[in-house]
Structure 1
């Protein structure tokens, strides 16, 4: 299985620092999560039902009715390739979220930097993108994505877009366009709502493809408690508006702090800052020795910094940067 952020216990063992003394910036998850409402005992006692309001809340929030709830977008990432013929040519980014190329490794997969996608598009049957990209936060314009989708669809091809980090920029989403042929969009409740442990995501796209996925995933892919919590989160417009503004402000603050200590360059989303550095591994370990966990990448070399969640975490990050 692939390595991911959030391996805090592993870092604690490696560096001999107790769990409670860490600042975990490795995940890119909202550190100010949606406040989970109290749950009645019946949600633990009964099997989940698909007419409990989750689908309606998701359709209203994302702006399209044709959706399939899944156990986090990871379930869709792993299952989607089986819905396409193995010989199809898949074009994706390098770098990108590693689970995507890992899932499509049985197909004719080609990974290229963002600037080379346009020239290679006519040699692909499926274009698979993360928007904004993880880990380097590269953004694609909606007009560019729709132009690529039209070129692919004209010859029976597909555009698959993972929008896991797009909630703070919801106006850029392609979900409202998923009635178009050959367009599939994945969304996740984990990042923006800070509910990664709930394992809830959605697939938007043609009904035939969603039916294939549903049959492969089987009944009750999402637990009753997770369905109830996420229904409330998706319907809470006041919390969502406040969260979007707060995350944008905090990301800008983090970017300015990193720049002030010479950790410059790269791109950002509302949930993380990407900093390419040839000395990324050394910097990662130097911060870890002070109880600051970042996400290390080696190809290309760089660090992803998530948002601190408390005033003390901000102070500790700045102190660690100053000491370097």
Structure 2
């Protein structure tokens, strides 16, 4: 199955030239102003992760996401590692994955022998909802839950915690995914979380094996999840930057088509032409194989706004 992602800066450089420092990568939805990790104790690098560090991270996660009693929390080396394993929690059947959306879910279920459909069958055996959706920004609700296996991917939901469906994580067969790389801007840390009923989370934990999360990731994750002030300020900044990006793109002739405050989706006459136009200015945008009129842009770095304004 085709796995289409943002990123791929090396391929853009090979085609259009320049060096990595010349490029502004807007093809992902990663916060361009990451959490300041600070100093990390040397023991986090040299020793096997101990129980105390793992417990500290889980406590911080439970508090930050207001995880209900009766739901368990599992830390993993990135949400992608969980997405690849989630289909193994049940016997293969039919999974409903509304499209368009992040395509790793369909690839993961197909690899486990599931039949994947974007059209809602009467009684699917599983459903995946990306909440808010990537790339449209659509939010779902409690009425969209309830299949025997329900995956709620909240990789981008930390921009709007009041919209989270984590309160439903105690329901049988329901798993909520959280990504640390998007909102906190630390995608290279490879840290993600699964929240759900204890039996399901225990199955996932067995699949991951011992020490799934590195010592530095445990330390940084616990620190960041405990910093509510940074999170509140970041939400406000992302909203302002998303509005600024919309204003630039609309003046340049694009039409708003959705997104979140971490990425924006635009309808244009020819997405490939827009991507090439930006690439000529060493800016990487995201287009999609299923739509020739949609382009998605993440937020520029603070120093990248002038480069984008010049390109537009």
1:184 aligns with 2:175: yes
1:117 equivalent in structure 2: none
The aligned runs of 1:292-311 (5 Å cut-off) are 292-301=283-292, 302-310=294-302
1:130 aligns with 2:135: no
The aligned runs of 1:249-264 (5 Å cut-off) are 249-264=240-255
Conservation of the 8 A alpha-carbon contact between 2:253 and 2:268:
no
Deviation at 1:200, TM superposition (A): 0.5
1:211 aligns with 2:202: yes
Give the whole-Å Cα distance in 1 for the aligned partners of 2:143 and 2:83. Answer: 23
Conservation of the 8 A alpha-carbon contact between 1:159 and 1:182:
yes
Give the whole-Å Cα distance in 1 for the aligned partners of 2:208 and 2:133. Answer: 26
Give the whole-Å Cα distance in 2 for the aligned partners of 1:277 and 1:159. Answer: 34
1:116 equivalent in structure 2: none
Secondary structure of 1:184 counterpart: strand
1:83 equivalent in structure 2: 89
- Return the TM-score normalized by structure 2: 0.93
1:72 aligns with 2:78: yes
1:102 aligns with 2:107: yes
Residue deviations 1:45-87 (CA, integer Å, cap 9, x gap): 110123321000011001115211111110110001111101x
> Which portions of structure 1, spanning 4 or more consecutive aligned residues, are displaced by more than 3 angstroms?
none
Give the whole-Å Cα distance in 2 for the aligned partners of 1:277 and 1:81. Answer: 36
CA RMSD of aligned residues (A): 1.5
Conservation of the 8 A alpha-carbon contact between 2:242 and 2:262:
yes
Secondary structure of 1:303 counterpart: strand
Conservation of the 8 A alpha-carbon contact between 2:189 and 2:217:
yes
1:59 equivalent in structure 2: 62
Residue deviations 1:162-215 (CA, integer Å, cap 9, x gap): 010110100110112211223211001110000111111110111111111111
Residue deviations 1:110-136 (CA, integer Å, cap 9, x gap): 014xxxxxxx35231211110111122
| Cα distance change on mapping 1:188 and 1:224 into 2, 3 Å | same
The aligned runs of 1:1-324 (5 Å cut-off) are 2-52=3-53, 53-64=56-67, 66-86=72-92, 88-105=93-110, 106-112=113-119, 120-140=120-140, 142=141, 146-150=142-146, 152=147, 157-301=148-292, 302-310=294-302, 312-321=303-312
Consecutive unaligned residues in structure 1, runs of 5 or more: 113-119
Deviation at 1:41, TM superposition (A): 1.2
Deviation at 1:278, TM superposition (A): 4.8
Give the whole-Å Cα distance in 2 for the aligned partners of 1:287 and 1:211. Answer: 46
Give the whole-Å Cα distance in 1 for the aligned partners of 2:306 and 2:177. Answer: 36
Consecutive unaligned residues in structure 2, runs of 5 or more: none
| Number of equivalent positions | 303
Give the whole-Å Cα distance in 2 for the aligned partners of 1:49 and 1:194. Answer: 25
Question: Which deviates more from structure 2 when the two are superposed, residues 239-248 or residues 171-180?
Answer: 171-180
Give the whole-Å Cα distance in 1 for the aligned partners of 2:186 and 2:24. Answer: 18
Give the whole-Å Cα distance in 1 for the aligned partners of 2:101 and 2:132. Answer: 10
Conservation of the 8 A alpha-carbon contact between 2:246 and 2:256:
no
Conservation of the 8 A alpha-carbon contact between 1:149 and 1:182:
no
Give the whole-Å Cα distance in 1 for the aligned partners of 2:100 and 2:285. Answer: 18
